Amino acid sequence: MTAAQLVQYLSWATYVTIFVIVAAKAMRSPRRVNIDIALFFSLPMLIVVFTLLAPPAGSLLSYLVVILLLALPYMLIKLVDDFADVPKWLLYTSEVLLALIVVGTIALGSKQPDWFVTIELFYLIVFLAYGVVAFARQSQRASGITRRRMRSAAAGSIALCLVFVFSGLARAAPQFAGLWSTLSQLSSLASGVSYFLGFTPPEILRRAWQEPELRAFLGRAARLPRLPDTQAILAEMESGAAASLGAPHASVGLWSEARQALSFGVGDEQVDVTPTPLSAVGRAFLNQKPVFSPNAPRDNPAVADALRKYGATALLVAPITAGKRKLGVLTVYAPQAPIFAEDDLALVQLLADQAAVVLESRALIDEATHVRAQEEVTRLKEDFLSAAAHDLRTPLTTLVAQAQLLERRAVRSPEAPADLAGIQKVEKEAQRLKTLVLELLDATRTEQGRLVGTREEVDLTEVAEETCARNGTELHPCEVEAEGPVLGCYDSVRIRQLVENLVENAVKYSPEAGAVRVKVWREKECNCLSVADSGIGIPAEDLSHIFDRFHRGTNVDDKRFMGMGLGLFICKGIVEQHGGRIWVDSVHGRGSTFYVALPVEVGKIDADVT
Amino acid sequence: MTLMLHEHAILVVDDDQDILSTVAEILEFEGYKVERASNGVEGLRAVERAHPALVLLDMRMPVLDGWGFARTLKERGISLPILVMTAAHDARRWAQEIGAEGYVAKPFNLGDLLNAVERLYRHN
């Protein structure tokens, strides 16, 4: 056996092997594309068989071999039409040309003139080249294993094209017949091997081709559980799955036990889909098996419109399952049934399995966060109760002891004059308690967002002047700077409380003598007020917490400055529940200026006023 | 004018002026001599000066707190009965921590305070 013969037998063996595999597959799953693949490869198989029978020239069999050869480009174009639209005129042209050439071949017999052979070769090469371009284009659009299989198919078609090119050259330059024949044989083998890799890749090759996409998805998936919310995770997984498959769109439907439906995010909306055996999605979820639906709008007319909106014809659906828990489905939409649907479906299932891991991790993180949040709420409640209890007990101690002392005095010496100082002390402590209790109630209302009641027209200038008059002393004169009334529609009781609190603080935290300056003015879209002092100021590290509940400046001596650390928390509540903003500028040891910006109209404020 | 029945003073240490004055007034009304201090340091000075028979001690105070006060007394070898009075809910534990003879939790009943004071004062 010569080397040339060996090459020929090898390429024949390859083509026969491909046919056996694709024919078996077409019988197992008789989809149009599988049948067309089998038909395409039946041609080389038959050519091989008939050639082996060594028909004499001019016999029916020898004509059949030629006709089968001529049918190759036509079948390839039919195959291309299954996954990419081939223009109708081109299909018809190829059919007509094929028919004419076949008739010509039979009519002219073995004495074909050069012009006819040229037309024959031209037809073969041009239509095979069209197939090459179609496969190459499709491989650009696809990704992963499909892309590689498409490339192999394109390479196979190029090699097949070359077979005919060299046949043509053998006729044009017969002096190099040996060379052309060898090149033609080698091209034939190359096309066989390429088609083998493209249409019937061995499992090991499929895995290797799948790996980069899976690895890329896994790389992304590892970061997913830490995204801020489940919606963000789903969006990332969907775009990741679509990218891995080279599909325009993918979506995850999560099973909702409460609604007994798969919930898909469509834009900003949630669309519930009840899983039924009628739809591919329902079958995948109910049977827990991946499902490929080449024409989903036809399968399930109920969702045809929704699918058309995505330009989706084919659906690849895989169940997302963690252990025995059905979490949902991963659906990938394709505009046309993919040629290698089985590989794509296997990849979708792999991605769905990863999605299950991501969703489970997320659920665990959510659970842990929830527990932590619960603990934080409990801790805050305990802090609140213990701080409140301590602050309430101090005046209560004096109140109870003083009242009991008054009683003792009255019992022991009823004739003695009333202990006025003692009574005043009882009253003072009762007032102190009242203030504390009200503050605690306000803090609770602040948290519940129920601080602001009935609104009426309030003049901030007037409120500032009244407050200053009440709080100003010789040591701490309080001055108001305003150009006239500044009117707004607010809860007048709360606004007075706010200004009172800020001015009181300004006086309280200015142990040395120093003026308190209140400024009221109107800006673009807000009514503003500031309270400035030259007191102890706020250390930089406290500035971001100064409006928090129970937070007191680290430079505030608890015993020197009474308070529960609720005042500014309530102030912030009053301002924010009016739709405004409050902030502070302060230099430790040099004083603080608190700013308040309230909307002129209810609920309106320019957020950038600073 | 109440009769002075007791020769030795009782030292009251509390940073809350209202509580300090009220407790002092109560004790004086019951015939005790009272020394007042607003924190641990003032308390220690008063101990040196007046040699009280009993200390009524608040725990959380600025400058020097109840723990510091008790520790310093021990360091100086001064043995004095201490009655802890604090608003904290763990008054009992704090009293044990500093080896005090008793405690009253704020807000206390006047009767309870006086009973405890009398018991410790007599004992001494």
Query: Would the CB atoms of B110 and A394 count as touching at under 8 Å?
Result: no
Query: Would the CB atoms of B26 and A401 count as touching at under 8 Å?
Result: yes
Among B97, B95, B100, B94, smallest CA distance to B81 is for: B100
**Residues B34 and B77 sit within 8 Å (Cβ to Cβ):** no
pLDDT at A341 over 60: yes
3-state DSSP of B7-50:
CCEEEEECCCHHHHHHHHHHHHHCCCEEEEECCHHHHHHHHHHH
Distance from CA of A219 to the nearest CA of B (A): 54
pLDDT at A39 over 60: yes
Confidence of residue A603 (pLDDT cuts 50, 70, 90): very low
pLDDT at B4 over 60: no
Tell me the per-residue pLDDT of A170-198, one tens digit each, with 9 for 90 and over.
Answer: 888 888 888 888 899 899 999 999 999 98
Contacts of A102 (CB under 8 A, 6+ apart): A67, A70
Q: What percent of chain A has pLDDT over 70?
A: 96
**Mean pLDDT on A453-475:** 91
Q: Give the pair of three-digit tokens for residue A166.
A: 């060299």
Q: Which residues pair with B33 in a beta bridge?
A: B9
Which residues of chain A are within 8 Å of residue B1 when distances are taken between CB atoms? none
Q: What is the mean pLDDT of chain B?
A: 87
CA distance A599 to A578: 8
Task: Give the model's pLDDT for residue A609.
Answer: 40
Q: What percent of chain B has pLDDT over 90?
A: 54
User: Helix-strand-coil percent breakdown of chain A, rounded to 5?
Assistant: 65, 15, 25
Confidence of residue A280 (pLDDT cuts 50, 70, 90): confident
- Asked if B7 reaches chain A (Cβ–Cβ under 8 Å), the answer is no
Q: From the candidates A397, A427, A428, A561, which should be mutated to test the interface with B, based on the most B CB atoms within 10 A?
A: A397
Pairing of strands A591-599, A581-587: antiparallel
Task: Give the model's pLDDT for residue B5.
Answer: 54
* DSSP per-residue letters across A52-111: HT-PPTTSHHHHHHHHHHHHHHHHHHHHHHHHSPPPHHHHHHHHHHHHHHHHHHHHHTT-
Helix axis angle, A567-577 to A420-448, nearest 10°: 40
Helix axis angle, A341-412 to B110-123, nearest 10°: 70
pLDDT at A367 over 60: yes
Query: Would the CB atoms of A397 and B19 count as touching at under 8 Å?
Result: yes
Tell me the per-residue pLDDT of A71-95, one tens digit each, with 9 for 90 and over.
Answer: 988 998 988 888 777 888 988 998 9
Contacts of A207 (CB under 8 A, 6+ apart): none
Distance from CA of B98 to the nearest CA of A (A): 21
Task: Give the model's pLDDT for residue A558.
Answer: 55
Q: From the candidates B3, B14, B22, which should be mutated to test the interface with A, based on the most A CB atoms within 10 A?
A: B22
Q: What is the ipTM of this complex?
A: 0.85
Task: Give the model's pLDDT for residue B84.
Answer: 94
pLDDT at A419 over 90: no
Query: Would the CB atoms of B18 and A429 count as touching at under 8 Å?
Result: yes
Q: Give the pair of three-digit tokens for residue A356.
A: 């299950």
Among A163, A170, A159, smallest CA distance to A184 is for: A163
CA distance A197 to A405: 103
* DSSP per-residue letters across A228-280: SSHHHHHHHHHHHHHHHHT-SEEEEEEEETTTTEEEEEETTEEEEE---TTSH
Q: What is the mean pLDDT of chain A?
A: 85
- Asked if B106 reaches chain A (Cβ–Cβ under 8 Å), the answer is yes
**Residues A460 and A495 sit within 8 Å (Cβ to Cβ):** yes
pLDDT at A112 over 90: no
Query: Would the CB atoms of B15 and A389 count as touching at under 8 Å?
Result: no
Distance from CA of A496 to the nearest CA of B (A): 29
**Mean pLDDT on A409-427:** 88
Task: Give the model's pLDDT for residue A553.
Answer: 67
pLDDT at A444 over 90: no
Task: Give the model's pLDDT for residue A40.
Answer: 92
**Radius of gyration (Cα) for chain A, nearest Å?**
43
Query: Would the CB atoms of A401 and B110 count as touching at under 8 Å?
Result: yes
Confidence of residue A561 (pLDDT cuts 50, 70, 90): low
Closest partner residue to A557 (CB to CB) among B25, B62, B88 is B62
Identity of the amino acid at A382: E
Task: Give the model's pLDDT for residue A557.
Answer: 60
User: Is the pLDDT higher at A268 or at B66?
Assistant: B66
Question: Comparing A213-222, A235-244, A418-427, B15-24, which segment has the lowest mean pLDDT?
Answer: A213-222
Q: What percent of chain A has pLDDT over 90?
A: 27
pLDDT at A337 over 50: yes
**Mean pLDDT on A267-282:** 83
**Mean pLDDT on A365-371:** 88
Task: Give the model's pLDDT for residue B54.
Answer: 93
- Asked if A389 reaches chain B (Cβ–Cβ under 8 Å), the answer is yes
Q: Give the pair of three-digit tokens for residue A607.
A: 């957020």
**Residues A585 and A592 sit within 8 Å (Cβ to Cβ):** yes
CA distance A487 to A325: 61
* DSSP per-residue letters across A356-368: HHHHHHHHHHHHH
Which residues of chain A are within 8 Å of residue B40 when distances are taken between CB atoms? none
Tell me the per-residue pLDDT of A205-241, one tens digit each, with 9 for 90 and over.
Answer: 888 887 887 788 788 777 777 777 778 888 888 888 8
Tell me the per-residue pLDDT of A503-537, one tens digit each, with 9 for 90 and over.
Answer: 998 988 887 888 999 999 998 888 999 999 998 88
pLDDT at A32 over 70: yes
What is the CB-side half-sphere exposure of residue A415 using CA atoms within 13 A? 0
Task: Give the model's pLDDT for residue B2.
Answer: 44
Torsion of CA B45, B49, B53, B58, to 10 degrees: -20
pLDDT at A113 over 70: yes
Query: Would the CB atoms of B87 and A393 count as touching at under 8 Å?
Result: yes
pLDDT at A406 over 70: yes
Query: Would the CB atoms of B89 and A429 count as touching at under 8 Å?
Result: no
Contacts of A123 (CB under 8 A, 6+ apart): A70, A73, A97, A98, A101
Distance from CA of B15 to the nearest CA of A (A): 7
Distance from CA of A504 to the nearest CA of B (A): 21
Closest partner residue to B87 (CB to CB) among A397, A409, A422 is A397
User: Is the pLDDT higher at A342 or at B4?
Assistant: A342
Distance from CA of A404 to the nearest CA of B (A): 6
- Asked if A27 reaches chain B (Cβ–Cβ under 8 Å), the answer is no
Task: Give the model's pLDDT for residue B35.
Answer: 94
Among A394, A311, A463, smallest CA distance to B22 is for: A394
Confidence of residue A270 (pLDDT cuts 50, 70, 90): confident
User: Is the pLDDT higher at A144 or at B106?
Assistant: B106
Task: Give the model's pLDDT for residue A604.
Answer: 46
Task: Give the model's pLDDT for residue A608.
Answer: 41
Give me the total of CB pairs closer than 8 Å, taking one residue from chain A and one from chain B: 63
